[in-house]
Structure 1
Amino acid sequence: MPKPPSRQSQIIIATFFDRYSHGDTSVYFSREDLYDTCTKHRIEPLKNMGDGALYSYRYRTKLPPEILRTQPEGKEWVILGRGISQYEFRLVSKSNILPNENLLSTKIPDATPEMIKRYAFSDEQALLARVRYNRLVDTFFGITTYSLQSHLRTTVESIGQIEIDEIYVGIDKHGRHFIIPTQAKVGKDKIGYAQLFQDLAYCKAKYPNLVCRALAAKFMNKELIALFELTISEDSVKIVEEKHYKIVLETDISEQELQEYNSRGSD
């Protein structure tokens, strides 16, 4: 017997189709609409309707197949915050940001403290720790950066409640200041439109005088990390730059590899 759809799935499907008409590219709804949907369709409400019904669909999980079947070729629905307790299904270009397997990697001597390696609680925390302690943000952008805050949960007026995995501030040789929102992706987690949209909106609202450069990090394997600078152009996530770093013991970097790195740097 097929498994019956979860309450979360039932609520999001009913909310969408109560408001969607063929050809729509935006479908607006509110948290109050989620409760109205439950009443109308006789679904027991979730304890936390905002996070419970929406969080995983906004950042981690595919929308139910009933909704996915309305997507035109090359497009996908994402759920965006549009203010306090206000949301939008928006049709955007499909994101498929994956590490380029043919890209050269650079070996970085591992500076992660052994205690951190031992006690990091999750793959996401382990990834953020590797990036932080090995100063990969500095290496990637060529500026001096500092971790300002991890797992920031705050509110943006135009979006509502958001979460950012980690935020860095930085400075370059010209004295320019940077704000760098960073998202960490592990396993099958996708680098997608919704989180990048909120990260950029937060930086524009909170730090309008700083240069914003959005970063995503993804484990390719336990030692190999892909970093992407990302932006949004029209309705698409675009890669500005991609680099790969392999975290290794210092003794694993040969003299020949150092010579190759010297050659790369002189281009």
Structure 2
Amino acid sequence: MKLLRVGAPGAEKPAILDAGGRARDLSGVVDDIAGAALTPEGLARIAAVDPASLPELPAGRIGPCVGQVGKFLCIGLNYADHAAESGLAVPEEPVMFAKATSAICGPDDEVKIPRGATKTDWEVELGVVIGKPGAYIPEEEAMAHVAGYCVVNDISERAFQIERGGQWTKGKSADTFGPIGPWLVTADEVPDPQALSMWLEVDGRRYQDGSTATMVFGVRHLVHYVSQFMSLHPGDIITTGTPPGVGMGQSPQVWLQGGEVMRLGIEGLGIQTQKVGHA
């Protein structure tokens, strides 16, 4: 299934794509694409409904594909070639940090460079959405906890991230720095999350062109690993790192200035398009 949320910010309706690619209103089935709706039982309830029997929603803004996200967790340096372009060693264990959930926005919403920023960058990433809750999840059971997958643009202000002291979170959490969607594609439609092509363009120039096959730590291990440090709940998102081609890795380095258009996608998970503005 391809699940999405359609409508103005804060007033999105839950929806499912039908066979013709039309958004059908799930409001009579679930309150939101969030929480209990993402558990195995919640997804089974949605799957039992014929999309053609649901009202068609008028075309409009696509919101973040998951509502009420509790945790927005990130894995850094999870592609060996990206670590190399960053001048950093491949980590022995996954590098974890967080983005503020207030950074989350729709896949085609304007991305706003924060005040005082000088080195704003892009990162196409595979997002893993948790469905079944758990803690201390055995690696062999980890995939049963995944509701599905989505495209994430892990936008970063490198000066805040690297040059301002402390952890990475301050460079990752500005409003609009977390576009997710357009769809939450359920796990049954993604048989191998480690075999997905992914790409990102800025003003038509392709900077990133990679594959989840080159992850250092795969989805199965990451869900297991993260659950050793905190419980995971339905609607939590783990975004899993980016392939090479970020602005920081260019020679000379390239930063978003405002006015650009970013376009990015992952095989089977849809495409995002964002104009870059200023806060």
Question: Into which bin does the TM-score normalised by the smaller protein fall?
Answer: under 0.3
Which is helix-richer, 1 or 2? 1
- Whose relative contact order is higher, 1 or 2, with alpha carbons under 8 Å and at least 6 apart? 2
Which is strand-richer, 1 or 2? 1
Rg comparison, structure with higher value: 1
* TM-score (normalised: structure 1): 0.27
